[in-house]
Structures are given as structure tokens and as C-alpha cells.
């Protein structure tokens, strides 16, 4: 990504030094261990035992314009045949997974263009035709503010002119967007639609076949959208989490948001994710260091508060029906058992005050990676019980939820590129623009995005990207 200011999201905390990768000792350590042992005993009774994994790199895609190509989001389509990336380069790039692997194995890229998501013929011509990207940008929503459209379109044209050879040599589709992208999600029902959240505070949906935005929604007052998510139980519903302290619900059938959820204390919301088991449950990771679980039928207050992180919570993911994984810029991931609250919500009891509570002790804490300043990604593979994240040490990590130590620690290399910072986690109003250089961060690389490819029980694949646009496909096998 381009340079990002990496301020602390916690109000009044000016400490920006790297955190230790060791887990911070706390007074609840004993209770935490007891809860974990109970959880593991339940897993053993159910016949679930920790698995051993071996990993190997399947493919690597390198970017030739590393100074502006930080990747901040990766998403797979429902078939797992294609994945897309987005970041500060203002481009959605679509890759055919198997073709990419095959082309690397055979040192040939010809098979990349045999998929259904084919680039237009003119996009395969000589690299000198760099202005072609201008014609790919269209707007479908005539009602959208003319000033914003004009500004965003000019921005799109500028970035299209700077297109490098990366997309044409490796991916099967490239779309230029008018703003830097923080989040991508492939639509759960429509294969040709990808949803985006950007730094203009706009939620948009792009038709990747026609290279145009089919909808754009702007209600976050220009504040950056950090995360979007589609509801698996109701795919027409999408949530966008923003720096403005709100989560807005969107439906294709409405030009305006259909609901607004305000975070406690108006804290910036870094991530929002729907529960896989219910369209009513939504989890939030907030800059006040807490994670909240909300019932959308009762927007007044969260039904569950998870309070154990020491600094801003950056991500939250559901690990199956009954568990949550949260990440924060305190260099930890935490595994939570939320089964009781899920049961109450599914039974329609979320409005009972006596059932609303705060959990202060997670089942387990993982802390071998380093994350003190930036968004580094978080992804879970529920069926395999695996958790992946990036690190400010330019490594990708994977944890088994039954173990404390990482099962994967993949180093992207020792190259020292002149790239300042990454996706900065910040909640302060007066911070510098993300394009300002942080001298102390120059030359430091990080893994900035990760995503599991949901696959067979006996194998898995992790796609990870770092802050100079390098993509790695890493496959894991059970021993």
C-alpha cells in the first residue's frame, strides 16, 4: 500500500513502539486456562483432536510497482476457483486460482486467459496502451452526487494511466477504482459482483464482467470504510463498518441504508462480520479495544462485550457457530466461546438485561506474531479450526485453535524495499494523511492480508500478501 499513518486507535495513547510478540500476562490467566481445558475436553469427547500440518508454497506473484501496491484485502468467490485482491493501488485484480498454480508449475502464463473471467482482447496488447483503463470505468447510479462522481472519476483515470504490467501478466481481470480499497467481499450469490469499501467512505458493488460500478452508497460522511461483509443467511444484506463509529446495513433494493448501528461511545469500527448461523447476529471490532456482539433486532446495546485486548481491536471472525476470533494491535489473537449468547439470541431472549454480559477471559490467546501499528489481516477456516494472520515482521502466521504455538510461520523474504508503513490503525481525528511518509517505518515490510481457501478437510490453502504487493499461495497438508 502507499504510506499509511500508523497511529494508535486508543484515545490518548501515543505509544507507537512495536509490541512484544509474547503474550501479556494478566490476572485472569488461571481462569483462561481452566476455560480452555474445559473447551478442549469437550472437543476430545466429540472426537476432535489437534491436527499436524505441513505447508509448501504453490505459487508467487510479484508486483513491479511495489511502492504503491500494498494489498489490504483478499476474497474468494463461492466456488473457490477465483480470488480477488484490493488495496491502495485502487485496483480490483481477479486471479484464477488453479490457472495461477499451473502457470507457475509450468513457467507459463498462457493458461491464465482460459478462464471464464477473460480480459478484453485489447488488454492483452502491448504495455504501451496504458490509457485503456480509462474506458473501463463507468458509473451506473445517475442519482449519485455529481461532485463526488466527478472527483472519483478523475481519480480513476489517473490511476488507470499508471497501470503496470503486473495485472496483465498474472491476473485475468483488472478494474480501476476511484479510491483506495480497504475491504473486498465477493457476493455470495452473484458470481460477477464484488463489494468494496473504500477510503472515500463509499460502499460500492462492481460488475467484474462489465467493468462498471452497479451501485454506490455514500452515508459515512467521507469517513473511511474499514470493513464490509455480506450476510450468509440473507445475501442481499451487506454491512459496512466505518471510522465514523457506525455500521450501516445495505440492501440492493434500497438507495439508502436500511439500518444504522452505533458503536458504544461512537468508537471507530474497524471490522464487522455477520454470524454464519443467524442473520440477526453481528460482531464488531472497535477502536476502544473491545469486541461487541449485537442482535440487529435490538440495536440499543450489544448483547455481549468481549473485553481483554489491551489496544484497538482490528478484526473479528466467527469460527463456526459458537466461537469468535478477535485480533488487535496488541500483537494478540483471542479465541472466545460465545455459545451461551448465541443460544439466547436464537431463542429471542437478547432483550433480557440479565443475559447481557461482558466476557473478560478468552479461551485462548495467540501471540507469536507482531502487530502494533497496522491492519495485517485475519482469516479463519472453521472446518479445520485454523486461524491465519499477517505480521509486521513480513511473515504469515497460522494457528490451530487447539494449540498455542503457530503451525505455520512463513517469511516473505529479507528484501528491503523503500516502502513506508501500511494500513494504519488509527482513531485520532488529527492524524496526517495516509500518504505522508513515516520515516521510522521506511524499509520495513509486513504481511498485510490473508485469506483461507475453503477446501477439503485434509488440506487447505492460504493466500497471503505483503506491503509490496507480493502474493503467496501456501498449501497445507494434514500429516
**Nearest CA among 344, 381, 337 for reference residue 362:** 337
- Of 2.40.30.10, 2.130.10.10, 2.40.10.330, 2.120.10.30, which CATH number belongs to 34-478? 2.130.10.10
- The structural domains of the chain, with segments of one domain joined by +, span 34-478
Block means of pLDDT (10 residues each) for the chain, 479 residues, are 36 34 44 56 53 89 73 95 95 94 67 38 37 36 41 44 46 94 96 97 96 95 97 94 97 92 95 91 96 90 92 97 96 94 73 67 94 96 94 96 92 56 45 30 80 86 94 92
Biggest alpha carbon distance in the chain? 67
Q: How far apart are CA 451 and CA 388, in angstroms?
A: 8
Grid cell, residue 202, equals 463509499
Confidence at residue 195, expressed as pLDDT on a 0 to 100 scale: 98
Sequence-distant (≥ 6) Cβ neighbours of residue 173 within 8 angstroms: 92, 93, 94, 117, 118, 119, 208
DSSP annotation of 50 reads P
- How many distinct helices (H) and strands (E) make up the chain? 5, 29
Supply angle C-alpha 343, 186, 466, rounded to 5: 100
Distance between CA 70 and CA 421 in Å, rounded?
10
CB 118 within 8 A of CB 172: yes
Angstrom distance (rounded) from CA 65 to CA 433: 21
How many residues are listed for the chain in this entry?
Answer: 479
Other beta carbons within 10 angstroms of residue 107's beta carbon come to 6
CA 402, CA 353: separation in Å to the nearest integer? 33
- The Cα 19–Cα 16 span in angstroms is 9
What pLDDT is attached to residue 45?
53
Report the relative pairing of strands 323-328 and 173-176 from DSSP bridges.
unpaired
CA distances from 222 to 148, 201, 244, 333, 358 (A): 10, 5, 9, 30, 32
Interatomic CA distance for residues 280 and 276, integer angstroms:
10
> Locate cell 502474493: which residue?
471
Q: Judge residue 432's burial from the number of C-beta atoms within 10 Å of its C-beta, 0-12 exposed, 13-18 middle, 19 or more buried.
A: middle
**Nearest CA among 67, 111, 31 for reference residue 420:** 67
Amino acid at each position: 500500500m502507499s504510506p499509511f499513518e500508523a497511529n494508535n486507535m486508543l484515545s490518548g495513547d501515543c505509544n507507537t513502539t512495536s509490541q512484544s510478540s509474547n503474550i501479556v500476562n494478566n490476572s485472569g490467566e488461571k481462569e483462561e486456562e481452566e476455560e480452555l481445558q474445559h473447551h478442549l475436553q469437550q472437543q476430545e469427547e466429540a472426537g476432535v483432536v489437534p491436527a499436524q500440518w505441513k505447508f509448501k508454497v504453490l505459487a508467487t506473484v510479484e508486483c513491479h510497482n511495489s511502492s504503491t501496491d500494498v494489498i489490504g484485502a483478499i476474497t474468494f468467490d463461492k466456488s473457490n476457483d477465483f480470488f480477488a485482491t484490493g488495496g491502495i493501488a485502487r485496483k480490483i485484480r481477479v486471479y484464477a486460482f488453479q490457472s495461477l498454480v499451473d502457470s507457475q508449475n509450468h513457467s507459463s502464463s498462457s493458461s491464465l486467459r482460459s478462464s471464464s473471467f477473460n480480459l478484453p482482447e485489447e488488454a492483452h496488447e502491448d504495455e504501451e496502451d496504458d490509457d485503456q483503463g480509462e474506458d473501463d470505468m463507468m458509473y451506473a447510479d445517475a442519482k449519485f452526487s455529481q461532485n463526488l462522481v466527478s472527483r472519483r472519476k478523475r481519480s480513476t483515470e489517473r490511476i488507470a494511466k499508471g497501470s503496470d504490467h503486473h495485472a496483465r501478466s498474472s491476473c485475468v481481470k483488472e478494474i480501476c477504482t476511484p479510491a483506495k480499497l480497504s475491504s473486498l467481499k465477493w457476493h455470495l450469490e452473484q458470481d460477477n459482483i464484488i463489494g468494496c469499501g473504500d477510503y472515500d467512505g463509499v460502499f460500492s458493488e462492481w460488475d467484474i464482467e462489465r467493468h462498471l460500478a452497479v451501485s454506490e452508497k455514500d452515508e459515512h460522511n467521507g469517513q473511511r470504510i474499514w470493513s464490509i461483509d455480506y450476510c450468509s443467511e440473507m445475501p442481499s444484506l451487506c454491512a459496512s463498518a466505518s471510522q465514523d463509529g457506525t455500521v450501516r446495513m445495505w440492501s440492493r433494493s434500497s438507495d439508502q441504508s436500511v439500518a444504522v448501528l452505533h458503536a458504544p461511545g461512537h468508537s471507530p469500527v474497524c471490522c464487522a462480520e455477520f454470524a454464519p448461523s443467524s442473520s440477526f447476529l453481528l460482531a464488531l471490532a472497535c477502536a476502544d479495544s473491545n469486541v461487541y456482539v449485537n442482535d440487529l433486532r435490538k440495536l440499543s446495546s450489544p448483547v455481549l462485550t468481549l473485553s481483554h485486548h489491551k489496544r484497538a481491536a482490528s478484526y473479528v471472525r466467527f469460527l463456526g457457530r459458537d466461537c469468535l476470533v478477535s485480533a488487535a494491535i496488541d500483537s494478540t489473537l483471542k479465541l472466545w466461546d460465545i455459545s451461551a449468547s448465541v443460544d439466547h439470541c436464537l431463542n429471542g431472549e437478547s432483550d433480557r438485561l440479565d443475559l447481557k454480559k461482558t466476557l473478560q477471559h478468552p479461551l485462548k490467546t495467540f501471540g507469536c506474531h507482531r502487530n502494533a501499528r497496522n491492519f495485517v489481516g485475519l482469516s479463519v477456516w472453521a472446518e479445520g479450526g485454523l486461524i491465519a494472520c499477517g505480521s509486521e515482521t513480513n511473515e504469515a502466521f497460522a494457528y490451530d485453535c487447539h494449540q498455542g504455538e503457530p503451525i505455520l510461520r512463513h517469511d516473505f523474504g529479507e528484501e528491503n524495499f523503500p516502502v513506508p508503513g501500511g494500513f494504519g490503525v488509527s482513531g485520532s481525528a488529527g492524524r496526517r494523511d495516509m500518504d505522508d511518509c513515516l520515516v521510522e517505518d521506511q524499509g520495513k515490510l509486513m504481511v498485510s492480508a490473508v485469506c483461507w481457501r475453503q477446501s477439503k478437510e485434509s488440506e487447505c490453502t492460504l493466500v497471503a500478501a505483503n506491503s509490496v504487493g507480493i502474493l503467496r499461495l501456501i498449501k497445507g497438508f494434514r500429516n
